[in-house]
Chain A
C-alpha cells in the first residue's frame, strides 16, 4: 500500500454526450455544492447568471425531423489554459493534479481570464451574493462564498478531492477509482458525466477517453483540455467515414 501523494493524479472528466438527456441535475447539484448565488430573474434576463456547469441545447432540422442536442459545458481545466498567463496576480494557475485553480483572495477582478477563455466558463461576481438569512443554513461550509468583484468557475469540486485525499492518506491507501465524484457527476442519472484520474490507466475515465468517439472542444486552439467529450450518436445518420476518406 502506498500513501496518496499530490502529483500522482491527473483529474479529468469524460462527458458522454450520447447519454446526456439535458435534465439539469448536474446544474443544480453544482449550484448547491458550491454556494453559487441564486440566479434571479433579473440576472437571467441580463445574461449575468452564474452557472459553473451549463447544459447547452441546440436544434437541428425542422418539424417533424427536429432534433434537440444537449451538451454539458464546464471549465475544461486546460493544460494550456489561455486564462492562466493573462492573470496579473496569479489568481488562476495550473496545479500538479491537472486542475485549473482559482485563488479567490488573490483575484482583483480584471476579468482578463474571462476574456481569454474560449469556452465562456468563467463568471464575474457583479454583485455581492445575497441569501435570505434562513437560506444560509444550506450553504456548504467546505466552499468559500465569493464576494463581489472576483471571478469564479468550476473547481472540479476540489474540496471533495482534498477530503478524499486526506482520508486516503490517513488510512494509508490510494484513492480508489470512483471514490472522488464531483457534485455533477455524482448527480448525473445516466452517467453521462464521469470523473476520475487520467494517470491511472485502469480508471474508468482512462478507458472511456480512448473511445473512438472522443474529441475535445475547440481542439484547434490547442488548449489541451482535461475534459474529454464522446460524440453524440445518431443511429439514423449516414456514415461519413467513406466521404472523409475520399476527401482525405
Chain B
C-alpha cells in the first residue's frame, strides 16, 4: 500500500494517534514524510521542501541519511539524526552523490555492442531483456554475477539469482577486507566486524586504518571521535601508519612503522606492557594463549630495529595504552594489506585481550547477526586468489556469461591479471551502471541502473553500532525528465528489480515488496525501535525513520587464537626496473573519490585532499627531507614503476611520510567515468603486484615496491594550499596550540613574548652587522 503524507497523517490521526511509537528521541517534524515521492503532490509545491530518510547504498557502509527534495529534485544529503550510525552527521562524500544522480553523462538507455570490437547502439528495454534472457540460457550454469560487496536484500537477490542459474556470485573490492574479517573471526570469534567504543575509551590505539577518513564507518567514528575528545581528560589517541593519513593527523602520537611490520609493533607494545607488569596475570595468560609462541622472544630493541620506530615511542604508546584505560586497539587498511596481513591484524586485535577490552565499555564490542533471515549482515570481496582462478576461467573460455554491477573490475584489478583479455573471451558480458565506466568498454550489453536515490533496498551497517540495525533505502526522487521535457535523462531500472524480473519469482517479485515483506517480518517480532498496531503502520514508521534497530539485541565475543601465519612481510622485487630509487608503495583510498567510485562527481574531484590539499589529479607523497636529497621538487612528474606496470604522478613532498615510502591516492586514472574523470590522473591499482596474504589469499595491496624516476618535467599541482596567504594568530603561529589545562590567553602571551625576543634578537644582530 502506498501512502502519501496527507493520507498517512490522516490515517494516524483517525486510527490511533501514536499507534506508531518510536523509541528514543522524538520524531523530527521534517521526517514526517513517507516514501513514494513520485506520487506526492507535496514535492511539487514551490518553496516547500520534503525530507526523506534512506541509506547511502554503495557509497558508505550503511550510513542512514536524509535527502532534501524540492519540486521532485534532490537538493541535499545530510546525516539522519535518528540513525544510530550517522546521528545527523556527514562525510565529504554525501552530497557528491547528487551529482551522479544528475550527471550529464548518465547512460540514457540500454546499449548493445553487436561485436566485441564494435560501437554501442541504443536499444529498448524489451530488446535488452530478450538479449539478457538469451545470455542466461546460453550460460547453462557457466555464469558469474560480479558485484561490489553487498549486504541487505540486494546481496541476497544477487546470490540467489546466481544460484538459480547454477552460477556463482563473486564480490570484488580493490581494497578487500578478507584479511580483516579473518583476523576478527580468529581473535574475537565474530562473523561481523565489531564496533569500537571510541566514545568511552581513554586510549585509542589504531594501526593502518584511516578510520576518520575512509575506513569502516567514518561518520560513525567521526561522531565518536568528537565524544572521545569531549571527555574530561580528552582521551589519548595513538595511530600507526607509514604515511600520515587524516586519522594519523588527528592522533596525539603518530608512529610510522616500516610497511608490513605493524604486527611486530603490536607485539612490541605488548611486550613492554607485560615486562612492566602493567596488566593482570590473567590478562597476560589470555593474551599469550591467543598468540602462537607468545611474546617471550620479542625484544624491544629488535622490534624498534625491525619497525623503524624508536624504543622510546613504542614504550610511550604501550604505557598509555595499558595505564589509561579503558583502551581499545584496532587495525585494518594498509596494516592488513601485506603478505603477513593476517598476522599483523591478529596481533593488533589481540591487544584488546591484554588490556581486558573485549566486550567491555570503552573497548571492542561485537555486533549481532542479521535481524532478517537470509539477509547478509556482513560482506567482503572474494580473495584475490579466488579472482585469479576465476579470471583464468574467463580467459580459457569456460564462462559464458558475466553480469557485472557496482564493480569496475577493469579499473580495480592489477595489470597482472590481464582482465581485459579475459573479458574479451567471455561471450556475454552484461554491465549495469549509471555512468559508463572502464569495464563497460568490454561489455556486450549495458543496462542503465538507478542510483540508490531512485531504488528500494535494505542496508545492514557494518560495523554496526553494537546492536541489530536494518536500514531502509527507498526511492526519494522519480526518474529525471530532461529540462527541455523531451524525455527521461535516463531510462534506468534497479539492478535488483531487473534480476528479479528475470528470476523464477521464488525469492521475490520486486525490491519494494521484498523490503516491505522484511519490515512486516520485523513487525511480527514485536521488538525494536518502532512499535505499531499494524504491519502497514510499522512499515511506514520504519521508512520514515530510515530503518529499524533494536538496542537490546547485542552480540558477544568468543576469544580465540590468531591463526599461525607468516610473520615477516615479503615485498615485490625491483631489481629489473631500470634507473631510479626504490620505495615502498602505500596506496590509499582518496578521501573524496574513495577507490574511484565517486570520480565522476565534480564535487568529489574538486575536494582538496586533507593532507596534500591537491585535487583533480594523482600525486605521490614522499618525505620532504628525502625529496631534497633526491632533488625532487613539488610538481615533478615521477615515473612510478613496478613489475606490474608504470604510472606517472606529481611529486608532493611533505614531512608526514616515512622516508622510503611513497603514498599514492586511488580513484583516478579512468579511461571512462564521465567528462569529469576521463583520462585524469593515474590508476595506482594497475601497478600493484600479485603478492597475497599468506593465509587468506587476499591481495597484499601495500606490498608492492616501486622504483621512482623523474620524468624530466614539472607541472603545477592543482592544490588549494597557497591559494590564500596564511593569516597567523600570532606571527609564525597559524594555529593556536595549547597544552592540557593551558589557556589560549597564556599561549598567546607566551607566543607574543617569544616573537618579541626573536624580533629584538634579530634586530640586535642586524645592528651588530651595521
Contact = CB atoms under 8 A, between A and B. Distances in A.
A32 B93 CA distance: 11
Given A134-B489, A141-B47, A241-B746, A57 B613 contact: yes
Interface string A1-19: 0000000000000001111
A59 to B, nearest CB: 6
B623 A63 contact: yes
Given A135-B103, A215-B736, A39 B606 contact: yes
Interface in B647-686: 654-659
Interface in B250-282: 250, 252-256
Nearest to A57: B613
A18 B227 CA distance: 12
B226 A217 contact: no
A213 B73 CA distance: 43
Given A44-B718, A238-B739, A119 B78 contact: no
Contacts of B92: 23-25, 27-28
Contact of A218 (B96, B729, B742, B745): B729
Contacts of A219: 729, 748
Given A44-B615, A189-B223, A27 B607 contact: yes
Contact of B723 (A49, A140, A244): A49
Interface in B296-338: 309-310, 313
A65 B99 CA distance: 40
A183 to B, nearest CB: 8
Interface residues of A, number: 87
A247 B736 contact: no
B118 interface: no
B117 interface: no
A155 interface: no
Q: Is the contact region of chain B dominated by helix, strand, or loop, or is it mixed? A: loop
Nearest to B477: A137
A21 B246 contact: yes
Given A23-B246, A244-B750, A189 B91 contact: yes
A49 B602 CA distance: 13
B397 interface: no
A243 B750 contact: yes
Contacts, number: 305
B742 A241 contact: yes
B737 A234 contact: yes
Contacts of A140: 75-76
A40 B606 contact: yes
A168 to B, nearest CB: 12
Nearest to A24: B92
B131 interface: no
A25 B91 contact: yes
Contacts of B740: 233, 235, 237, 239
B757 to A, nearest CB: 9
Interface stretch (A67-75, A78-86, A88-96, A101-109): A67-75
Interface string A158-199: 000000000000000000000000010011111110000000
B749 interface: yes
A40 B219 CA distance: 27
A31 interface: yes
Nearest to B609: A24
B610 A235 contact: no
A189 B222 contact: yes
B739 A234 contact: yes
Nearest to A248: B749
Contacts of B723: 44, 47, 49
Contact of B658 (A56, A63, A234): A63
Contacts of A214: 744
Given A69-B735, A118-B727, A215-B748, A135 B244 contact: no
B79 interface: yes
Given A28-B96, A32-B76, A70-B249, A64 B254 contact: yes
B223 A190 contact: yes
Given A21-B212, A140-B76, A63 B256 contact: yes
B434 to A, nearest CB: 12
B75 to A, nearest CB: 5
Nearest to B719: A44
Contacts of B736: 17, 215, 229, 231-232
Contact of A33 (B76, B213, B746): B76
By CB atoms of chain B within 10 A, which of A21, A58, A133, A237 has the most? A21
Nearest to A120: B724
A87 B427 CA distance: 68
Contacts of A188: 89-90
Contacts of B483: 133-134, 136-137
A162 to B, nearest CB: 12
Given A21-B249, A64-B254, A247-B749, A32 B743 contact: no
A207 to B, nearest CB: 13
Contacts of A239: 739-742, 746
B95 interface: yes
A61 B735 CA distance: 14
Interface string B584-616: 000000011000000000110111101101011
A64 B610 CA distance: 19
Contact of B721 (A57, A63, A231, A234): A57
Contacts of A32: 75-77, 95, 98, 603
A58 B734 contact: yes
A244 to B, nearest CB: 4
Interface of A: 16-19, 21-25, 27-29, 31-33, 38-41, 44-45, 47, 49, 51, 54-64, 66-71, 73, 118-120, 132-141, 183, 186-192, 212-215, 217-219, 229-241, 243-244, 247-248
Interface of B: 46-47, 70-71, 73-79, 88-96, 98-99, 101-104, 106, 212-213, 218-219, 222-223, 225-226, 229, 234, 236, 244, 246-247, 249-250, 252-256, 309-310, 313, 480, 482-483, 489, 591-592, 602-603, 605-608, 610-611, 613, 615-617, 623-625, 654-659, 716, 718-727, 729, 734-750, 753
26 contacts: A19-B226, A21-B246, A24-B591, A24-B607, A24-B610, A25-B94, A28-B94, A28-B603, A32-B77, A56-B726, A57-B613, A63-B659, A71-B734, A136-B102, A188-B90, A189-B226, A191-B223, A215-B745, A230-B744, A231-B744, A233-B737, A233-B739, A235-B234, A240-B742, A244-B750, A247-B753
Given A22-B610, A191-B223, A234-B252, 6 more contacts: A22-B246, A63-B625, A66-B656, A73-B727, A136-B102, A137-B101
Q: Lowest 4 CB-CB distances: which A-B pairs, in order?
A: A189-B222, A190-B226, A66-B655, A132-B104
